[in-house]
Structure 1
């Protein structure tokens, strides 16, 4: 005599599958019994004067002044031309003559700039007051045309 091929686990899975099917059928019948209107008016949303989304159209009496679309700028504001002295002054913070590089701290902004021996017009040592110009390097601004004051 052979054993039944139906195990407890298989029976439970079948029960769950049937239960899900019944629930799905009930939901379908509920939707058919209570149909939602899917007209365009139900789908439209409005924005009130405070920027909140609402279902009611805005009141035309509360309408604000008209904004000219041409006057709206959607970009980074243009930089005004400010004449800036290209020659800056600073103090040599660190300089290693054996490796040929160092750093200069600008007097006004206290920013630190890299300087290479190729950008020197005169020999410098730590603590010297110098004048220099800035150029864009590979990793940021570099001090060039450096000379003692």
Structure 2
């Protein structure tokens, strides 16, 4: 009795898969890098940033003094810790307010405990910025200019 069509089909598929596997193994052996010298495996980068197999010419090299190499970010000049601004909101009953910074134009929170003299809205003040979890706080708030708001006392 002969084999059914599906059995013949499966046998042919297995034989084809075995033949393909042998062919891939043969190709891998031909393209294997084992046994090649280091020079054969090296790649170089030319002056345009392209990969090439020829080493760069020695004539184009320029000497650079190691002291001229700067690593890291460019240092910023230290900024003045004392800033100025105008009080744009002040709640006397709750004891807090906000100062609009002259440099950054951002609104900075301050508390009445950080104020050294009586202040009112629209007063020009000097202060120091202090970073906290919610942003910046103004500390050491001092009046530097006259204001036009209503007078408050402590």
Q: Would you say same fold, with TM above 0.5?
A: yes
1:24 equivalent in structure 2 = 21
For residue 91 of structure 1, report the CA deviation from its aligned partner.
1.1
Alpha-carbon distance between aligned partners in 2 of 1:102 and 1:13, rounded to the nearest angstrom: 84
1:3 equivalent in structure 2 = none
Tell me whether 1:105 sits opposite 2:100 in the alignment: yes
Tell me whether 1:130 sits opposite 2:125 in the alignment: yes
2:134 equivalent in structure 1 = 139
1:42 equivalent in structure 2 = 40
Q: Deviations over 1:105-135 (max 9, x none)?
A: 1224323222122211234343332222223
Alpha-carbon distance between aligned partners in 1 of 2:53 and 2:108, rounded to the nearest angstrom: 58
Tell me whether 1:115 sits opposite 2:110 in the alignment: yes
CA 1:146–1:13 in structure 2 vs 1: closer, same or farther (change >3 Å)? Answer: farther
* Residue ranges of structure 2 left out of the alignment (5+ in a row): 146-154
What CA RMSD, in Å, does the superposition of the two structures yield over aligned residues?
A: 3.2
- Give the TM-score taking structure 1 as reference length: 0.69
Alpha-carbon distance between aligned partners in 2 of 1:21 and 1:77, rounded to the nearest angstrom: 62
For residue 11 of structure 1, report the CA deviation from its aligned partner.
8.6
For residue 144 of structure 1, report the CA deviation from its aligned partner.
1.4
Q: Deviations over 1:60-100 (max 9, x none)?
A: 23x13211234312222334456x3x433211122333433
CA 1:15–1:92 in structure 2 vs 1: closer, same or farther (change >3 Å)? Answer: farther
* Residue ranges of structure 1 left out of the alignment (5+ in a row): 1-5
